[in-house]
């Protein structure tokens, strides 16, 4: 009998332990993101927003991106309300809220209960017309984004605790509101409202016509590094951030998500080999359609055999074995040196939240890793890293740092943010010019033909890369059938005014030649007309 009781007690304790573990698992694992977000103020649970006199954010020509406004709210003084049932019913009808929840607030023994924040003009008018006893209209200072979902990942938002989250609001949090000194500063962006609008419009069009899952477009001034557009799709409305449950949409994919660049990386390989005197644009090799490295066989796209080709034709036709040929002439150590010089193992220092990869797997030194890296596979980077690297070709061999904020305005005056253009040359002006000419040939004679614009030389490169399973959140080696399809280019090629990267996730086309390239052409034509850039020829 005693043993039976002991066993019963043990079984009971074990069951209680399992229940407790289950509850902990639910709270920490299943609902972990929710409670973390709640702790960070990502959900508005009724606190007063502490935006104070936070600095405001403007586009380069003065259009407003983020401001502070006094927004009406409705609150009640429960002790003054006599007919609580009727009042709760009337408020529930006006605000489309749950009557019982309102009634619970009305039954509290206090003088102040918020019923609804951020009421609409129509709701405000209805409350005023009813003139309910104990029901009042107040106001609170809130952060407001008049552009709504436009440039949403760029700006981020201010949470319920008054802290900037994501985007500019996070990066410049202490500039926009200096808690210690109780002062604010406004910021003016390098981003052009009109160009940003056009870029986002093209991404929405790509969703409709190409069925893209997501996409990014970056427009940069390759001479100064100023970002003229940083567009993402899909977007969200920062005014309603607390209704979003998928926090991944808050991230700016251009600076906070990694991808494999595919053939857009081939000009980097070619530039390094030319700079080191290992090849020239006219150097030829014989393509047999594949290259064997140890136990691996690397093929061209569609296993096509090209025969004898120059390095320029390698870029024109995006031949994998040609990039391998250049890398093997260059040597692994030199290839790694230029990989690092072009900035692919460190942040760009753009003034936005960003991540980067150290590319540790590639840097292990296996020959097959260098071979695949030569044509942009098995290495990862952010879109902002890649477009920054291309400033080397458009800027006589020098790497230009990206810049998103142009001015900081305070009570003490205006501080101009200077571009970091006085940097060490990555390659010589001669090599930069040679690679630019090769990229022009890609557009004139190769896979970038749909980017041609009459009267202008366009330099550019296509890139189509399979998406690794790991990038899809699947714990599996190798690559899926989904693809990133991209195009990067600048114009006018020999006196560049703009540099554009178009990156699309899984469009319903086989290659970027028919997805990203036409989008680039449309945006480039818009910029040429917008700035009235004179033709090259």
CA 202, CA 42: separation in Å to the nearest integer? Answer: 30
Q: Please tell me whether residues 341 and 367 are part of one structural domain.
A: yes
Q: Residue 299: pLDDT band by 50, 70, 90 thresholds? A: very high
CA neighbor of 523 nearest in space, from 176, 219, 315, 240? 219
- Range name among 1-5, 276-280, 528-532 with the lowest pLDDT average: 1-5
In a domain, 460, yes or no: yes
When the pLDDT of each residue in the chain is averaged and rounded to a whole number, the result is 90
Q: What is the mean pLDDT of residues 493-505?
A: 97
**Quick one: pLDDT at residue 266?**
98
Count how many domains the chain has.
Answer: 2
- In this model, does residue 40 exceed pLDDT 50? no
Q: Residue 9: pLDDT band by 50, 70, 90 thresholds? A: low
**Quick one: pLDDT at residue 295?**
86
**Quick one: pLDDT at residue 12?**
61
- In this model, does residue 20 exceed pLDDT 80? no
Contacts 24+ apart (CB under 8 A), 247-251: 247/33, 247/37, 247/42, 249/153, 250/153, 250/156, 250/157, 250/165, 250/166, 251/153, 251/166
Q: What is the mean pLDDT of residues 385-414?
A: 95
In a domain, 61, yes or no: yes
Q: Please tell me whether residues 176 and 217 are part of one structural domain.
A: no
The DSSP element (H or E) to which 128 belongs, if any, is: helix 121-130
Q: Residue 502: pLDDT band by 50, 70, 90 thresholds? A: very high
Residue 324: CATH number of its domain? 3.40.710.10
CA 158, CA 160: separation in Å to the nearest integer? Answer: 7
Q: Please tell me whether residues 168 and 283 are part of one structural domain.
A: no
- In this model, does residue 3 exceed pLDDT 70? no
Asked which of 189, 213, 229 is the last residue of a domain, the reply is 189
**Quick one: pLDDT at residue 182?**
86
Q: Please tell me whether residues 468 and 521 are part of one structural domain.
A: yes
**Quick one: pLDDT at residue 34?**
42
Q: What is the mean pLDDT of residues 271-298?
A: 95
Q: Please tell me whether residues 394 and 489 are part of one structural domain.
A: yes
**Quick one: pLDDT at residue 17?**
59
More confident residue, 2 or 364: 364
CA 418, CA 490: separation in Å to the nearest integer? Answer: 22
Q: Please tell me whether residues 425 and 280 are part of one structural domain.
A: yes
- In this model, does residue 26 exceed pLDDT 50? no
What range defines the domain where residue 158 resides? 57-99+109-189
- In this model, does residue 243 exceed pLDDT 50? yes
CA neighbor of 260 nearest in space, from 479, 448, 500? 479
Q: Residue 36: pLDDT band by 50, 70, 90 thresholds? A: very low
Summarised one tens digit per residue, pLDDT across range 155-214 is 999 998 889 999 999 999 999 999 888 899 999 999 999 999 999 999 999 999 999 999
Q: Residue 22: pLDDT band by 50, 70, 90 thresholds? A: low
118 sits in the region (left: phi over 0; alpha: psi -120 to 50; else beta) called left
**Quick one: pLDDT at residue 421?**
62
**Quick one: pLDDT at residue 8?**
56
In a domain, 132, yes or no: yes
Q: Residue 6: pLDDT band by 50, 70, 90 thresholds? A: low
Q: Please tell me whether residues 385 and 477 are part of one structural domain.
A: yes
More confident residue, 387 or 245: 387
Q: What is the mean pLDDT of residues 364-368?
A: 86
DSSP 341-385: HTTTTS----SS-------TTGGG--HHHHHHHTTT-S--B-HHH
In a domain, 508, yes or no: yes
Q: Give percent of the chain above pLDDT 90.
A: 76
- Range name among 77-91, 263-277, 442-456 with the lowest pLDDT average: 77-91
Q: What is the mean pLDDT of residues 255-281?
A: 97
- In this model, does residue 399 exceed pLDDT 60? yes
Q: Residue 4: pLDDT band by 50, 70, 90 thresholds? A: low
**Quick one: pLDDT at residue 35?**
42
- In this model, does residue 395 exceed pLDDT 50? yes
- In this model, does residue 118 exceed pLDDT 90? no
Q: Please tell me whether residues 146 and 293 are part of one structural domain.
A: no
Q: Residue 5: pLDDT band by 50, 70, 90 thresholds? A: low
- Range name among 76-90, 292-306, 418-432 with the lowest pLDDT average: 418-432
**Quick one: pLDDT at residue 31?**
45
Asked which of 156, 189, 222 is the last residue of a domain, the reply is 189
**Quick one: pLDDT at residue 476?**
85
Q: Give percent of the chain above pLDDT 70.
A: 90
CA 192, CA 121: separation in Å to the nearest integer? Answer: 31
**Quick one: pLDDT at residue 27?**
44
Q: Please tell me whether residues 524 and 480 are part of one structural domain.
A: yes
- In this model, does residue 10 exceed pLDDT 70? no
How many other C-beta atoms are found inside a 10 Å radius of the C-beta of residue 520?
27
CA 464, CA 447: separation in Å to the nearest integer? Answer: 11
**Quick one: pLDDT at residue 47?**
40
In a domain, 19, yes or no: no
Residue 61: CATH number of its domain? 3.90.1310.10
Q: What is the mean pLDDT of residues 146-150?
A: 97
Summarised one tens digit per residue, pLDDT across range 41-91 is 444 433 444 456 899 999 999 999 999 999 899 999 998 998 999 999 999
Please list the residues that pair with 139 across neighbouring strands: 72
In a domain, 379, yes or no: yes
Structure tokens at 7: 């066993």
pTM check: above 0.85: yes
- Range name among 172-176, 339-343, 477-481 with the lowest pLDDT average: 477-481
Q: Please tell me whether residues 146 and 237 are part of one structural domain.
A: no
Asked which of 149, 174, 189 is the last residue of a domain, the reply is 189
- For residue 531, whether the previous peptide bond is cis, meaning omega lies within 30 degrees of 0, is no
How much helix, strand and coil, in percent to the nearest 5, is found in the chain? 40, 20, 35
Q: Please tell me whether residues 169 and 241 are part of one structural domain.
A: no
Q: What is the mean pLDDT of residues 258-281?
A: 97
Q: Residue 23: pLDDT band by 50, 70, 90 thresholds? A: low
In a domain, 390, yes or no: yes
CB 446 within 8 A of CB 317: yes
In a domain, 220, yes or no: yes
Q: Please tell me whether residues 221 and 156 are part of one structural domain.
A: no
Q: Residue 472: pLDDT band by 50, 70, 90 thresholds? A: confident
């Amino acid at each position: 009998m005693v043993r039976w009781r002991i066993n019963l007690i043990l079984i009971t304790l074990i069951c209680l332990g399992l229940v407790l573990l289950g509850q902990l698992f639910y709270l920490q694992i299943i609902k972990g993101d929710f409670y973390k977000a709640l702790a960070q103020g990502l959900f508005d649970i009724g606190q007063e927003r502490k935006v104070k006199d936070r600095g405001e954010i403007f586009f380069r020509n003065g259009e407003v991106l983020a401001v502070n406004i006094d927004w009406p709210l409705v609150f009640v003084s429960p002790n003054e309300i006599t007919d609580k049932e009727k009042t709760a019913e009337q408020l529930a009808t006006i605000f489309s809220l749950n009557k019982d929840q309102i009634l619970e607030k009305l039954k509290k023994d206090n003088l102040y209960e918020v019923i609804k924040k951020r009421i609409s003009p129509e709701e405000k008018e209805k409350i005023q017309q009813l003139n309910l006893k104990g029901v009042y209209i107040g106001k609170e200072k809130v952060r407001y984004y008049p552009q709504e979902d436009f440039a949403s990942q760029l700006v981020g938002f201010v949470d319920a605790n008054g802290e900037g989250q994501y985007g500019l609001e996070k990066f410049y949090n202490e500039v926009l509101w200096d808690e210690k000194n109780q002062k604010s500063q406004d910021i003016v962006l390098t981003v052009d409202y009109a160009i940003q609008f056009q870029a986002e419009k093209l991404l929405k069009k790509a969703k409709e016509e190409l069925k893209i899952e997501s996409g990014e477009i970056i427009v940069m001034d390759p001479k100064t590094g100023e970002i003229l557009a940083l567009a993402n799709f899909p977007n969200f409305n920062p005014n309603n951030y607390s209704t979003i449950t998928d926090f991944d949409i808050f991230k700016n994919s251009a600076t906070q998500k990694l991808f494999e660049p595919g053939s857009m990386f081939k000009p980097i390989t070619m530039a390094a080999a030319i700079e080191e005197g290992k090849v020239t644009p006219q150097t030829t090799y014989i393509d047999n359609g594949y290259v064997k490295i140890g136990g691996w066989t690397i093929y061209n796209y569609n296993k096509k055999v090209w025969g004898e080709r120059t390095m320029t034709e390698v870029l024109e036709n995006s031949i994998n074995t040609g990039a391998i040929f250049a890398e093997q002439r260059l040597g692994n150590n030199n290839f790694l040196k230029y990989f690092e010089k072009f900035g692919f193992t460190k942040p760009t220092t753009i003034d936005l939240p960003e991540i980067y990869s150290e590319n540790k797997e590639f840097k292990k030194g296996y020959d097959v890793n260098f071979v695949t890296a030569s044509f942009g596979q098995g290495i990862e980077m952010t879109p902002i890293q890649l477009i920054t690297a291309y400033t080397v070709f458009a800027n006589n061999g020098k790497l230009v740092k990206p810049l998103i904020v142009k001015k900081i305005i305070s009570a003490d005056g205006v501080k101009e943010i200077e571009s970091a253009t006085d940097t060490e040359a990555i390659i010589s002006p001669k090599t930069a010019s040679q690679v630019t000419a090769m990229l022009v040939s890609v557009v004139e004679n190769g896979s970038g033909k749909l980017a041609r614009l009459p009267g202008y030389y366009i330099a550019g490169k296509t890139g189509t890369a399979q998406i690794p399973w790991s990038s899809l959140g699947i714990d599996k080696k190798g690559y899926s059938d989904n693809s990133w399809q991209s195009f990067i280019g600048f114009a006018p090629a020999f006196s560049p005014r703009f540099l554009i990267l178009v990156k699309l996730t899984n469009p319903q086309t086989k290659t970027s030649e028919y997805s990203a390239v036409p989008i680039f052409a449309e945006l480039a034509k818009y910029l040429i007309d917008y700035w009235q850039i004179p033709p090259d020829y």
